[in-house]
Amino acid sequence: MKFLKKHWAKIISGMLMLILCVYVLVFALNKAKDYEIYKEPTIETKIYTLWHVETFEGGSVSRVEFLKAIARQIETENAGILIMIKPVAPEVLADELKTACPDMISFGFGVGKTILNKLQPLQSSYNVRDELVNAGKFNNTLYALPFMVSGYAMITHGSLTQNFHCGQNGYTKPENVFNNFNLTPAEQESQYEAYKDFVYDNSVTLLGTGRDVYRVNNLNKTGRASAIISPVDSYTDLVQFFGIVNSDEITNKFLSYTLSDQQQMSLNKYSLFSSKNYKIYTDELYSKMEDAISICEVKNVFD
């Protein structure tokens, strides 16, 4: 009793505080029923696949980097969109298509017929050069468009020799070039082996690709070679095409971006050439290469 008399004020104060806390809690819970808890809005994610099939030597890394840059741009502009670029070797493309199918495909000569029955007709040529548009048609319907081009060059130590070297991979047809020069390759070899033969043997004539032009030009600039590089203006099959398998806003946007003025003008960063009527080089050698490629015969990719 003495304790209660001595501390009655504190006890009453504590009870009142407890009652107040219970009231506030009950009031808050009742009010909470009137409000929904905020949730971050859910963004639906959609993944697109782009298969990239390499069939010619020279610039393979550059071609993938070019496509990756466009993929990242579209992803940035379209929330929830992801674009996966998958390299596919040409020799396994047919088997891959038995169990899966991309939304888009980038491919070169040698596999056109393998992918043809998967491609959707394209509604625009995006001002690609006429002869290159024709290269992507089948039965007068447009199924694929070249978005970057390279070319061949005859590279010598001073004059053409019969010690002729040229890489042959089974997908491109460089014989359409060297037959015009009445030359026969010394042996079957890869393009890089042919390039090394040229570098280490002054009697070698090389039919090089755009990548060889880049390599030898660098050797010339640094004084390690004094080679003569003559761009070929008769024929090229060093061409990369773009086709759409599942046609929708994103896949069509990807194609239009690859052929936009901005992206085509940026190809000089990759030592590659535009499929449109653009002059994107000021360097004398690359300007000559550009002129030669612009008048080359390009066969149909589906033949």
pLDDT by residue (tens digit) across 19-32? Answer: 555 554 555 556 55
pTM: predicted TM-score of the whole model, two decimal places: 0.85
User: Average pLDDT, stretch 235-264?
Assistant: 97
pLDDT by residue (tens digit) across 125-156? Answer: 999 999 999 999 999 999 999 999 999 999 99
Token pair in block for residue 221: 């600039």
Angle among Cα 114, 116, 119 to the nearest 5 degrees reads 130
Contact predicate 173/108, CB 8 Å: no
Token pair in block for residue 47: 């993944």
DSSP letter for 147, please. E
Where do you find CATH 3.40.190.10 in the chain?
A: 46-150+237-280
User: Average pLDDT, stretch 278-298?
Assistant: 95
pLDDT by residue (tens digit) across 52-97? Answer: 999 998 777 889 999 999 999 999 999 999 999 999 999 999 999 9
State residue 4's pLDDT score: 46
State residue 28's pLDDT score: 53
Instruction: List phi, psi (to 5°) of 227.
Output: -75, 155
Distance CA 23, CA 21 (A): 5
From residue 292, give the alpha-carbon distance in Å to each of 235, 237, 286: 9, 13, 10
Look at residue 169 and tell me whether its pLDDT is greater than 90: no
User: What is the C-alpha R_g of the chain?
Assistant: 32
Structure-token match 């998958």, residue found: 86
What percent of the chain is predicted at pLDDT more than 90? 79
Topology (CATH level 3) of domain 46-150+237-280: D-Maltodextrin-Binding Protein; domain 2 (3.40.190)
Instruction: Report which secondary-structure segment, H or E, holds 230.
Output: strand 228-231
Token pair in block for residue 296: 């080359």
Structure-token match 């447009």, residue found: 142
Non-local (6+) Cβ contacts of 235 within 8 A are 152, 176, 177, 180, 296, 297, 298
Sheet with strand 153-156: strands edge to edge: 164-165, 205-208, 153-156, 228-231
pLDDT grade for 13, boundaries at 50, 70 and 90: low
Of 3.90.550, 1.20.1510, 1.20.1410, 3.40.190, the CATH number of 153-231 is 3.40.190
From residue 206, give the alpha-carbon distance in Å to each of 74, 220, 233: 41, 15, 16
